[in-house]
Amino acid sequence: MIEVHNLSKIFEDKKRGRVVAADNVTFTAGPGEIFGLLGLNGAGKTTVLRIIATILKPSSGNVRVWGVDVVREPEKAKANLGFLTGETGLYGRLTAREMIGYFGRLYGMPARLLKNRTDELMQLFNMTEFADVRCDKLSFGTKQKVSIARTIIHDPRAIVLDEPTVGLDVITSRAVVDFIRNEKRRGKAIVFSTHVMHEAEKLCDKIGIIHRGRIIAVGTPNELKAASGRDDMDEAFVALIEGDGHAA
């Protein structure tokens, strides 16, 4: 379960003054549920995800990961959480195996379990041949696979993915989508952000459209299409956002 409740985040920016990056955001991703956060660049997706992942502290509201409050007990919350950041940073001078292993150890995994799990993920993502190659020598797609393996090395019950398929080729992209589906089947609570509408439509049980820090619409893909009166997800998204613009 990932429960986001009345979450707000206000930045004090020297140039722009007070910036409300998240404004009273509420949503829930239950067990075996995928919640998609859709929005334009700068809409507040990353801010919300970063707060769930405890990297940023909320100005108000709260987030609970399987019942653990991320502000009060960040270390405990993180143990149950896998977070794939937007900037997929890897340590270039470590090999893929070392990179994944480092995080496994940080999550307190015993050596044997870590090795088995690493091998399992390497096979799952079809990257065994790259296991001992330094990360800065890997292709973009393989890097993303390493990042995802790193994210779920400890088999977390909650997974947060910030634009996991951005910049990937079709094959790798499909591998990522398959992986998300599989994790859903295993009962994980998943939140992910994207601006690829058809991907959200295929994967998500629920979609929240975030615009200027606020969730302006929530529902299943079909509900959203119905609400906007369009039968294409792209069209529905644009209509909802523009509708919000007129209202404001």
Partner 1 sequence: MLRNVWIVYSKELLDTVRDRRTIMSMIVVPIVIFPLLTIGFGSLVSEMTQKTQQEKQRVALISREDAPALYAVLDSSSELELATDWNLPVDSIAPAILNKTIQAAVVVDSNFEGKVAGFDSSGITVYYDAAETKSEIAKEKLKEILSDFEKSILRNRLAEKNIPDDFIMPFRTNTENVAPKEKMGGFVLGMFLPYMIVILGMVGAMYTAIDLTAGEKERGTLETILVSPIPRWQLASGKFLTILTTSLVASIMSITSLTVTMVYGVMSTASMGEAIALKITPQMILTILLLMIPTACLFSALLMSISIFAKSYKEAQSYASPLMMVIILPALVSFIPGVELNIKLAFVPLVNVCLAIKEALLGNFNPLYIGIIFVSALIYAAFAIFVTHRIFEKESVLFRS
| Residue among 151, 205, 187 nearest 35 (CA) | 205
By CB under 8 A, what part of segment 157-216 binds partner 1? Answer: none
Question: What is the CA 31 to chain-centroid distance, rounded?
Answer: 15
Which residue do the tokens 């991703």 mark? 29
CB-CB contact of 51 with 63 (8 Å): yes
Question: Of 92-100, 167-175, 182-190, 233-241, which segment contacts partner 1 by CB under 8 A?
Answer: 92-100
Q: Compute the least distance from the CB of residue 69 to partner 1, in Å.
A: 15
3-class secondary structure, 221: helix
Stretch that binds partner 1, among 54-62, 173-181, 182-190, 237-245 (CB under 8 A): 54-62
Of 107, 227, 232, 244, which lies in the binding site for partner 1, with binding defined by CB under 8 A?
A: 107
- Near partner 1 by CB under 8 A: residue from 27, 35, 83, 237: 83
Among 35, 54, 203, 210, binds partner 1 (CB under 8 A): 54
Stretch that binds partner 1, among 75-83, 182-190, 193-201, 222-230 (CB under 8 A): 75-83
Instruction: Give the 3-state DSSP-derived string for 84-150, with helices as H, strands as E and coil as C.
Output: ECCCCCCCCCCEHHHHHHHHHHHCCCCHHHHHHHHHHHHHHCCCHHHCCCEHHHCCHHHHHHHHHHH
Cβ–Cβ contacts within 10 Å for residue 230, how many?
A: 16
- Contact residue for partner 1 among 62, 103, 133, 205 (CB under 8 A): 103
Would you say 57 or 202 has its CB closer to partner 1? Answer: 57
> Of 187, 179, 228, 186, nearest to 207 (Cα)?
228
Taking CB under 8 A as the criterion, the residue among 16, 17, 41, 108 binding partner 1 is 108
Q: How far is the CB of 244 from partner 1 (least distance, A)?
A: 26
Tell me the CA distances in angstroms from 78 to 27, 68, 189, one per residue in order: 19, 9, 14
Residue of 19, 71, 94, 166 interacting with partner 1 (CB under 8 A):
94
Distance, in Å, from the CA atom of 146 to the CA atom of 127, rounded to the nearest integer, reads 9
| Dist. CA 136–CA 138, nearest whole Å | 6
The reply to whether 57 sits near partner 1 by the rule CB under 8 A is: yes
Q: Is 152 in the site for partner 1 (CB under 8 A)?
A: no
- Segment contacting partner 1 (CB under 8 A): 30-38, 106-114, 171-179, 226-234? 106-114
Q: How far apart, in whole angstroms, are the C-alpha atoms of residue 20 and residue 193?
A: 19
What residues line the site for partner 1 (CB under 8 A)? 12, 50, 53-57, 75-76, 78-79, 81, 83, 85, 87-94, 98, 102-103, 105-108, 147, 150
